[in-house]
Chains A and B, each alone.
Chain A
Amino acid sequence: MVLAAISLFVGVISLRPSEVLHDSEAFGLMLDSRLPRTLAALIAGAALAVCGMIMQMLVRNRFVEPMTAGTGQGAALGILIVVLLFPKVSILVKMSIATATALLSSIGFLLIVRRLPPAQPLLVPLVAMIYGGIIGAGVTFVAYQWDMLQYIDTWLNGDFSGVMRGRYELLWIAALMTVLIYVIADQFAIAGLGRDASINLGLNYDQVMILGLLAISVVAALTVISVGAIPFVGLIVPNIISRRFGDNLRATLPLTALCGASLVLVSDIIGRVIRAPYEIPVGTVLGVLGAVVFLWLLYARPKHAR
């Protein structure tokens, strides 16, 4: 809450709380830019953290997250295809196609992961990065061929500076998906126990897998379209939460969402403040933060936690 308040009053145009109440121009700035930007950061952070947790449950590996494991890149590829082939279609169609390609690339990732030896948990994040990298490279190549590199930059590097009223509302669908994930949190927690345990408890394992991947893909596609890919939130937050509070998702998902939202908002504020009046994209800030925390997670991993 405090962070959200700070975020509302940090920016190129200085804004004091008292002005908002009296000055109509300041109020307009608040409504058109600051409030949407703060909400976008909160929703994207919460949704991505929750999706990271779900993906880690489905893949049964702690070191994956949608934005580095091909889902985000798949979404970018989808948008690129739409923009190139059908530039006139509505945003909903764009979103659906981006979701579809994100889903396809997530399923592809899952199929590869299933062939990896389960005793080598560190292979999975390596494969994830290579896999995501290959799709990302494909996106860059196509964009290069069609002279659209600037476009894809806005999708591949998360940045909230472009967020204004009318340009972030799609993210509310991501918020809705997050709530839906929470409704069936138990099923994802059981899926995290593996196929055999799921079948034992009478769960339709394949259905849960597809539902989870679908939710992740929708969120990834929406994030990439509206603010661009934001890395590492889906990795750091679930790891910290799981280490501290465990994996009983019904209990931990709200906390995961809260931490994800706070982390992204803090990163965005840092990006706005550190070199004001210029801005550093939130993706860059998180990339630096995330790389450090990821290394720490790898090295500080307790021996019994596999």
Chain B
Amino acid sequence: MIVVENLNYSVASAQILTDVSVTLPKGGITALIGPNGAGKSSLFSHIARLLPMQSGRITVDGMDVAPANRQALARKLAILPQQVHFATRLTVKELVQFGRYPHCQGRLGAEDHEMVEASLAAFGLTALADRFLDTLSGGQRHKAHVAMTYAQDTGYLLLDEPLNNLDIAASRALMTLLRWLADEEGKTIVIVLHDINFAAHYADHLVVLKDGRIEREGSPVDMVTGALLADVFGTDAQVALVGATPFVMP
């Protein structure tokens, strides 16, 4: 369970997040959605400890997200930031091995090697293990990064807009993987999503932000309505139901 209490964040005179308090449930996929500039990524970056906290408190399973807990947090919570742009040349396997760093400080034991192999196998990367990342397609590279966070063996996985620059097939493949991680491996996934339809289809819980505040939260069926699109996104799109899943007509 991730608990955010009274989080405020401002840059210069602009208030980005205003008194945000929210509890993200343990288990399943929680998606953060909202219009551009709503503060989704700022909230994400605070939970992921990429931004220093100005005021407020965030705990993960009761552990404070503070620099003092750096190593322990790295074993509890893995993050996949928005832009993963590497200048370095690493093979898929080397990248995945770095995922074990919080556990072994670079000296991989038998258990670590097992975890690396398992992670490569789980994501279908065994055949690509010795390829350099810069020789892979965008989708494969993405998989390698998710495989690295998987090898990190954390209960929580945080992803910031992972579907950017991915085509429909790669996007669906990634979301299916995340669904599998949540359902079969019992991981808690927190994901910032732009596409409401993806959020509605794959997530269990939606948290809607607007103007730096939590606007509302709940299940996709309750959240994704014409009213939400009008109030929060300011557009009057139609919402249809496909089976039990709401679908926004673009």
Binding site for B on A (CB under 8 A): 57, 60-62, 118, 121, 185-187, 189-190, 192-197, 199-204, 242-243, 246-248, 250, 304-306
Contacts and interface: CB of A to CB of B under 8 A. Distances in A.
A203 to B, nearest CB: 7
Interface residues of B, number: 34
B106 A247 contact: no
B98 A201 contact: yes
B78 A202 contact: no
Interface stretch (B17-25, B86-94, B207-215): B86-94
A247 B132 CA distance: 10
Contact of B81 (A60, A197, A203): A197
Contacts of A196: 48, 50, 79, 81
A238 B55 CA distance: 43
A193 B86 contact: yes
B89 A242 contact: yes
A247 B89 contact: yes
A250 B98 CA distance: 12
Given A199-B49, A202-B71, A193 B88 contact: yes
A200 B106 contact: no
A60 B80 CA distance: 19
7 contacts: A186-B101, A190-B98, A196-B50, A200-B149, A201-B101, A202-B74, A304-B134
Contacts of A201: 74, 98-99, 101-102, 152
B102 A61 contact: no
Interface string B43-78: 000001110000000000000000100111111001
Contacts of A60: 87-88
Contacts of B50: 195-196, 199
A246 B101 CA distance: 19
A172 to B, nearest CB: 26
A51 B124 CA distance: 37
Interface string B203-241: 000000000000000000000000000000000000000
B87 to A, nearest CB: 5
Contact of B89 (A195, A199, A202, A246): A246
B13 interface: no
Contact of B135 (A62, A195, A304, A306): A304
Contacts of A121: 87
Contacts of B86: 192-194
A246 B149 contact: no
B188 to A, nearest CB: 16
B165 interface: no
Instruction: Tell me the interface secondary structure of chain A in the complex.
Output: loop
Contacts of B74: 200-202
B102 A202 contact: yes
A146 to B, nearest CB: 42
Contacts of A189: 88, 90, 98
Contacts of B78: 200
A242 B90 CA distance: 9
Contacts of B101: 186, 190, 201-203
Contacts of A194: 85-86
A118 B152 CA distance: 28
B105 A186 contact: yes
A57 B88 contact: yes
A306 B87 CA distance: 6
Nearest to A191: B88
Nearest to B134: A304
B94 A204 contact: no
A305 B89 contact: yes
A246 B132 CA distance: 8
Nearest to A250: B106
B90 A247 contact: yes
> Which 6 pairs show the lowest CB-CB distances between chains A and B?
A202-B74, A186-B106, A196-B81, A247-B88, A202-B71, A192-B88
A204 B102 CA distance: 12
Contacts of B149: 200
A118 B84 CA distance: 12
A118 B85 contact: yes
Nearest to A186: B106
Contacts of A246: 88-91, 94, 132
A117 to B, nearest CB: 12
Contacts of A242: 88-89
A304 B86 CA distance: 11
A45 to B, nearest CB: 23
A248 B95 CA distance: 9
A131 B67 CA distance: 34
Nearest to A242: B89
A200 B87 contact: no
B74 to A, nearest CB: 3
A304 B79 CA distance: 25
Nearest to A204: B70
Contacts of B80: 200
A202 B80 CA distance: 13
Contacts of A185: 106
B102 A62 contact: no
Contacts of B99: 201
